[in-house]
Amino acid sequence: MNTAKLILPEQEVELPIVVGSEFEKALDISKLRGTTGFITLDSGYGNTGSCKSAITFINGEKGILRYRGYPIEEIADKCSFLETAYLLIYGNLPNAEQKAAFQDNVTSHTLIHEDMKKFFEGYPSNAHPMAILASMFTSLSTFYPNNQDTDLDIVRLIAKAPTIAAFSYKKSVGQPFVYPRNDLEYASNFLQMMWAVPAQEYEVSPAVRDALNLLLILHADHEQNCSTSTVRMVGSSQANLFASMAAGVSALWGPLHGGANQKVIEMLQRIRDDGGDYKKYMAMAKDKDSGFRLMGFGHRVYKNFDPRARILEKAAGRVLSELGLSDPLLDIAKNLEEIALADEYFVERKLYPNVDFYSGIIYRAMGIPTEMFTVMFALGRLPGWIAQWKEMRDDPKGRIYRPRQVYVGATERHLD
Ligand code: SDX
């Protein structure tokens, strides 16, 4: 069967059936309006595929996540973040020569133009770093306006994003900016830009470095989520790479998406400060009128454990013990998970912990301020956004994204 029959009030049409390499099935409706006058309606696009993609595969029912075919568990275990970025963007893991060239290229582009430092002077010290990241990404296009060498612009973004993020942190605490160093690998370089202070030796902790590498990898791509779809939408108009990534940062900021990791910690702190009564908050999460959601739980695609949450739950305990720390918020999180997984409301709706539920515990252990959590998500997601943007722009049949609508407003009327 490679077509499906659609029976409409006045006609029947055959719709081509598209089957993906993991046997996902879709109805191709690209000619539906032209042949029938009908469009489809799918609020939130829960049943709508925007594209064919070869980058990331998710099986939400089974809790499977693969980057270019490799299970996330193996990538997380064996790869560096830059190797993962290369894999997502160029389709295969780099060989030794490609890996060294990519790393050297990124290392030699970590500085931002000195004039960009002046932008930081204008922000209030409490400016949210996601606002700074989005505007700085767009501003990069003013320093690199010709966009003729996409690979170079890709390297510039991946290289400069940690510098911008660390500078936004230093701005928020009134400390001098710490410049990137060429003798350090990606994660270590970011950490020293965040935590080094003048006249003090800063030693990167291997446990923190490895935790950061893991967090960046786990956030690197997730097929057509809200921010990635935004990046594709903006890029489909032929907007430049920097502006498209800035749009992705803005979409990610929302508390229902990447902003959830900040909200999870704020929720756990609220429960802790309220005497740790997590059962009370679980009851609130089930009460629609409470306006309270269990942040870090639920997912549009995963109707099983988010594999990233499983990895992060283990990593949270490991990082805390390696750093000799304990965190009451982790205990509260584990208690919430335990009762949620046995509670009919959550079981019925297939609500499991998602990537944001445990990531904040690790960011906290690393000393990252809560306001920076979503920036950390963006640093990880950047290569995924780039890979998806590039796949869309490399498609010779690519078209500008322009959905239709069903108009339900006033019919024609006239001014007196
Ligand atoms: C990310 O798409 C991606 O891939 C995203 C991401 C990525 O890597 O890019 O994985 C990253 O964004 C993870 C999600 C982070 N957001 C949160 O943790 C916020 C809390 N979760 C929810 O708001 C919600 O689960 C969403 C936004 C994640 C998904 O929303 P959906 O698919 O639109 O589901 P829904 O809101 O329609 O919920 C279905 C039902 C509703 O109950 P009923 O109306 O059927 O009775 O489940 C309930 C919801 O009220 N529900 C929750 C809940 N999440 C859903 N109830 C309590 N607490 C929750 N967290």
Active-site pick, 222, 299, 306, 327: 299
Residue 381 has pLDDT above 90, yes or no: yes
Out of 224, 257, 385, mutate this one to test ligand 1's pocket (max ligand atoms within 8 Å of CB): namely 257
Residue 59 lies in a domain: yes
Residue 359 lies in a domain: yes
The CB of 218 under 6 Å from ligand 1? The reply is no
The CB of 349 under 6 Å from ligand 1? The reply is yes
The CB of 268 under 6 Å from ligand 1? The reply is no
The CB of 260 under 6 Å from ligand 1? The reply is yes
Residue 315 lies in a domain: yes
Q: Which of 169, 243, 258, 213 is nearest to 76 (CA)?
A: 213
Asked if 26 and 128 sit in the same domain, the reply is: no
Amino acid 225: pLDDT:
98
The CB of 360 under 6 Å from ligand 1? The reply is no
Residue 374 lies in a domain: yes
Which residues, including other chains, have CB under 8 Å from residue 316's CB and lie 6 or more apart?
330, 358, 361, 362, 365
Amino acid 1: pLDDT:
80
What distance in Å separates the CA atoms of residue 223 and residue 232, rounded to the nearest whole number? 11
Number of domains in the chain: 2
Tens digit of pLDDT for each residue in 212-270?
Answer: 999 999 999 999 999 999 999 999 999 999 999 999 999 999 999 999 999 999 999 99
Asked if 230 and 86 sit in the same domain, the reply is: yes
Whichever domain contains 95, its CATH number is: 1.10.580.10
Active-site pick, 153, 306, 327, 356: 356
Count of residues making up the chain: 416
Residue 301 has pLDDT above 90, yes or no: yes
Tens digit of pLDDT for each residue in 153-205?
Answer: 999 999 999 999 999 999 999 999 999 999 999 999 999 999 999 888 899 99
Query: In this structure, which residue's CA is closest to atom 27 in ligand 1?
Result: 256
Whichever domain contains 42, its CATH number is: 2.20.28
Assigned token pair, 200: 């003090």
Confidence category of residue 60, pLDDT binned at 50, 70, 90: very high
Please check whether residue 109 is in contact with residue 95, taking contact to mean a CB–CB distance below 8 angstroms. no
Q: Domain limits at 35?
A: 3-64
Please indicate whether residue 356 is annotated as part of the active site.
Answer: yes
Tens digit of pLDDT for each residue in 369-378?
Answer: 999 999 999 9
Which residues, including other chains, have CB under 8 Å from residue 37's CB and lie 6 or more apart?
none
Residue 384 lies in a domain: yes
Q: For the whole model, what pTM was predicted? A: 0.96
Asked if 328 and 358 sit in the same domain, the reply is: yes
